[in-house]
Amino acid sequence: DEGYEDLYPSRNWKFYEHDSGPSNCAGIPTEQVKRGWVARGGFSSDTTDIAAYLFWFSVSTTDNVPPELLSSNGPLPTTYSTDPRTVSAEIQDCDYSNPAEAGIDESQTYISYTTYNILDKTESSGTAPLANIGGDTFEGDLPGFPAWTQVSYSIVATDDKGLASTFLQGTYLIAGTSNDYFALEQGALASHASGSSACTPIYIRPTGTEIPSTAFFVPKDEIVSPTSPNAKDDGTAGPFALGGPFYLFGEEYNYAWVGVNGAIALSKTATDTLNVNANGFYTTGFNFPDNQLPPNDDQDSADDGYYPAPFIAGFWNDLYYGDTAGSPNPPQWGHILYEDMGCKFVVEWDTIGVFVQNGDNFIDYITFNIVIDKCDGTISYQYIDVGGAGLDTTAIIGVTADTVASFGDAPWMYVNRFNGPAESTPDNGECVVLYQSGTTAVNDKWNMVAVSNVPSAGYAVSNIYPTAVGQVFRYSGSYLPTDPLSNGPGFWAKFNGKQNVGAPGTMLTTLTVAAAIDWNLLGTISCPVPTSSIDDANVAGASWFQYNNGYQAVTTLTPGKAHWVKATSAGNVTMECTTTAAAKVDQNYAQVSGFSKLTLRDYIGGEQTLYVGDAKSLNVSLDRYELPPTPPTGAFDARFTSNRNVEVYSDEAGTANEYTIRIQSSSYPVVIQYNVTTKNKSLVVSEVVEGKSVTNTIINGRGVIRITNPSVSSLKLKVVDGLTPDKFALSQNYPNPFNPVTRFAVDLAATGEVDIAVYDILGRKVATLLTGQHDAGTYNIEWDGKDYQGISSPSGMYFVRMNAGDFSEVRKIMLLK
């Protein structure tokens, strides 16, 4: 026999029950795949390969040794329980130098743990005592933790002489039946516990369209040989039209990509090719939540191992659909089918093949499906038969949606992984339904929100916004407290800190709301609605507004958010999920894009932009720029006293061209960032306290004004003829001495290069205040006492130097803290 194994004088042999490492279907050369009794050593035909020898030796211990863990009940499995969990262990101590002195120091024997909460990303750590309950047995309780907490723990044992051992026990998850994004139907868990069937699964084998094994592919960058990877083992097929849009957290999907291994992915277009695997292969490494690709990535790369998004796993496992052997007619293992049933799009894996430990593939009884309901937005996993190969205890089940910028994370739901929790392990005749939450991201303090689905637990404020501070308000000529809530109206609600809010339920795809004449605060539906698709006459051409720490005109209504619109008459407003109307630019605000802008921001993020321009540049009524009613007290707002955010000036003689800006803020300083674009005009901004102007600042070009006095609740804005200064000048700063901000007026008699910088008494440049090419005019600049690195400068004397052409001037200033 010239087999290469005969070339080795090895004294060490190992029996391989199945193919070692990646199987030959992964393209490993046959001589490198080990099977049966194999001589240990080299595994190529090279006769110079070094042989392996096996040596045995024994050691007798004669000293004290640390405690030894004989057994434990760890690692603890995944659970739904938030109660304390018992840890038990058999711990033995031996002192070979003096056996009578062996013993465990109970005061120094304990459970050490760390926790990580997936939802709020908080961490904690601690210890829990272990008590001896007889013999070598110790018991203790890990504390209970909230749902979606990962707990990693170890057993620490110390003997009476101070020698200690740490025994890692692993990590378990405290899962939940709901999170910020999905809720798991409780019926499935109850039926699992009782052994009864929760539903009658859909079975499409007689009516569905079969996907042939030859339709599956693998990413081109993963193909390293004709058999690696095998598309009939770890491939993807698609795209398959869903038969209508499916909305997942406001994103619209139209196509499914089906993976052999029990999962699907969704795409918006047929050209977004998705690979429903990791690096072209099945992996046990997927989890929920997990690493995430960028939105709508066309397929995973050669190295990242991520799944595509959205990724919907109904029974993720190492399944098998076809073989490369037996060409030209290789066997097919089971069936994979799909069917559009109107509201429901179903993918079914029917008596699918299983890759088993002895290397053979066979048709198991495993039959299950994934159901996407386009009408109510639910995702269902239905198990007709979980088979006899034990894959129900190794499956990974869950969903990850695409990244949603406003959430910060991709919405996800964990159902089961490796048989945990036991209550959600798939069983014959069982159905698991996932309901999308009406989740929306809210800011700290006041927000405009809406119920954009049909919540499964009802419309009580305590169900939909349990973290709301105080009452929730609707609008009917004034703000009125309301509970319960409903679909249709919009609401004002206050929260402590940024968070995701909402309640799970079924989708709302159409809604008709009664609107009163004048302003209406309206909710919306489960999908984004372009305002151009709302053709009711009473709101035709109207601007719609969201509140995001300030009013903003929008052209798309966002699920979970409330929106203001002003109706010209009483009547209905109808919203529908549609793909026929694209969002358009708001033509009202397109007309003022070239106006001078003043953007007011308060300390905690409130923001509002106001516009001033020439009346001749506007060809619509100023009424189009009326802002919605003022937000509740404490919410940021800034507007002209005309209740508009746009004003125009006129060159007609006798026109005052003066306006008052009203500010509502609970957090100062308020910063005004301005961009003056009017030709031959300047703006004068005056701070008003108790009806009197206390400052006058001329503004041109771009710059910033900082209002630090919380008594300033209004500003005067005046448009004046721009006068080109007849000379260059740098004014003395005001105030002086100052802390922390001081201001300067700069006159430029001609357009040109200018440089204004701050220096310390040693002549070192501290900060640059103005530099580059600038038009002739008057500018207002300020220094906040910080250097170019953003570090606060120490108290002392500084010099401000201005250079413009041949002109140079220096001002002495004093910073006092």
- Position 212: which residue type? P
Per-residue confidence at 297, pLDDT binned at 50, 70, 90?
A: very low
- 592-603 residue pLDDT tens: 989 999 999 998
Q: How far apart are CA 580 and CA 318, in angstroms?
A: 41
Q: Looking at the domain assignment, is residue 63 inside a domain?
A: no
What are the residues whose beta carbons fall under 8 Å from the beta carbon of 13, sequence distance 6 or more?
A: 37, 38, 39, 40
761: containing domain? 724-817
Q: Looking at the domain assignment, is residue 119 inside a domain?
A: yes
Q: Are residues 326 and 225 in the same domain?
A: yes
Q: How far apart are CA 521 and CA 629, in angstroms?
A: 10
Q: Are residues 458 and 490 in the same domain?
A: yes
What are the residues whose beta carbons fall under 8 Å from the beta carbon of 696, sequence distance 6 or more?
A: 684, 685, 686
Query: Could you tell me the CATH number of the domain that includes residue 730?
Result: 2.60.40.1930
The token pair at 674 is 């301005």
The token pair at 803 is 């250079």
Q: Are residues 633 and 652 in the same domain?
A: yes
Q: Which residue has the tokens 């260059």?
A: 728
What total of structural domains would you count in the chain?
A: 6
Q: Answer whether residue 225 shows pLDDT above 70.
A: no
- Three-state SS at 707: strand
**Boundary-marking domain end, from 585, 615, 647:** 585
Specify burial of residue 535 (Cβ count, 10 A radius: 0-12, 13-18, 19+): exposed
**Boundary-marking domain end, from 585, 604, 628:** 585
Per-residue confidence at 4, pLDDT binned at 50, 70, 90?
A: very low
Q: What is the sign, positive or negative, of the torsion defined by CA atoms of 96, 102, 104, 105?
A: negative
Does residue 700 contact residue 632 with C-beta atoms inside 8 Å? no
Helices (H) and strands (E) in the chain, counts: 4, 60
Q: How far apart are CA 400 and CA 411, in angstroms?
A: 6
User: Which one-letter DSSP state was computed for residue 25?
Assistant: G
pLDDT for 302 equals: 33
Report the half-sphere exposure of 235 (CA within 13 A, side-chain side): 26
Per-residue confidence at 610, pLDDT binned at 50, 70, 90?
A: very high
Q: Looking at the domain assignment, is residue 417 inside a domain?
A: yes
- 769-815 residue pLDDT tens: 999 988 787 888 899 999 989 999 999 999 999 999 999 999 999 99
Q: Are residues 123 and 40 in the same domain?
A: no
Q: Are residues 661 and 799 in the same domain?
A: no
Q: Are residues 265 and 157 in the same domain?
A: no
Query: Could you tell me the CATH number of the domain that includes residue 712?
Result: 2.60.120
Per-residue confidence at 103, pLDDT binned at 50, 70, 90?
A: very high
Q: Are residues 99 and 134 in the same domain?
A: yes
Query: Could you tell me the CATH number of the domain that includes residue 94?
Result: 2.60.40.10
Q: Are residues 97 and 155 in the same domain?
A: yes
Please tell me the chain's helix, strand, coil percentages from 3-state DSSP, rounded to the nearest 5.
10, 45, 50
Does residue 637 contact residue 644 with C-beta atoms inside 8 Å? no
**Boundary-marking domain end, from 721, 756, 771:** 721
- 14-72 residue pLDDT tens: 666 655 554 444 445 556 666 677 666 554 555 445 555 555 556 667 789 999 999 99
Q: Are residues 269 and 283 in the same domain?
A: yes
Does residue 545 contact residue 628 with C-beta atoms inside 8 Å? yes
Q: How far apart are CA 427 and CA 395, in angstroms?
A: 12
Q: How far apart are CA 640 and CA 662, in angstroms?
A: 6
Q: How far apart are CA 777 and CA 296, in angstroms?
A: 49
Q: How far apart are CA 442 and CA 448, in angstroms?
A: 9
Please give the model's pTM, rounded to 2 decimal places. Answer: 0.72
pLDDT for 32 equals: 63
Q: Are residues 221 and 326 in the same domain?
A: yes
- 135-182 residue pLDDT tens: 999 999 999 999 999 999 999 999 999 999 999 999 999 999 999 889
Q: Looking at the domain assignment, is residue 179 inside a domain?
A: no
- 665-678 residue pLDDT tens: 989 999 999 999 88
Full DSSP string of 754-812: EEEEEE-TTS-EEEEEEEEEE-SEEEEEEE-SB-TTSPBPPSEEEEEEEEETTEEEEEE
Q: Looking at the domain assignment, is residue 237 inside a domain?
A: yes
- 525-562 residue pLDDT tens: 988 899 999 999 999 989 999 999 999 999 999 999 99
Q: Which of 655, 777, 637 is nearest to 718 (CA)?
A: 655
Which has the higher per-residue pLDDT, 280 or 132? 132
What are the residues whose beta carbons fall under 8 Å from the beta carbon of 172, sequence distance 6 or more?
A: 75, 76, 77, 78, 79, 150, 151, 420
Specify burial of residue 262 (Cβ count, 10 A radius: 0-12, 13-18, 19+): buried
- 300-341 residue pLDDT tens: 433 345 678 899 999 999 998 876 555 556 677 889 999 999
Which has the higher per-residue pLDDT, 53 or 295? 53
pLDDT for 8 equals: 46
Alpha helices (H) in 581-681, listed in sequence order:
587-590
Q: Looking at the domain assignment, is residue 200 inside a domain?
A: no
Q: Looking at the domain assignment, is residue 203 inside a domain?
A: no
pLDDT for 281 equals: 79
Q: Looking at the domain assignment, is residue 710 inside a domain?
A: yes
- Three-state SS at 106: helix
What is the 3-state secondary structure of 556-589? EECCCECEEEEECCCEEEEEECCCCCCCCCCHHH
Q: Are residues 469 and 424 in the same domain?
A: no
Q: Are residues 608 and 482 in the same domain?
A: no
Q: How far apart are CA 551 and CA 646, in angstroms?
A: 13
pLDDT for 698 equals: 82
What are the residues whose beta carbons fall under 8 Å from the beta carbon of 725, sequence distance 6 or more?
A: 747, 748, 749, 776, 777, 778
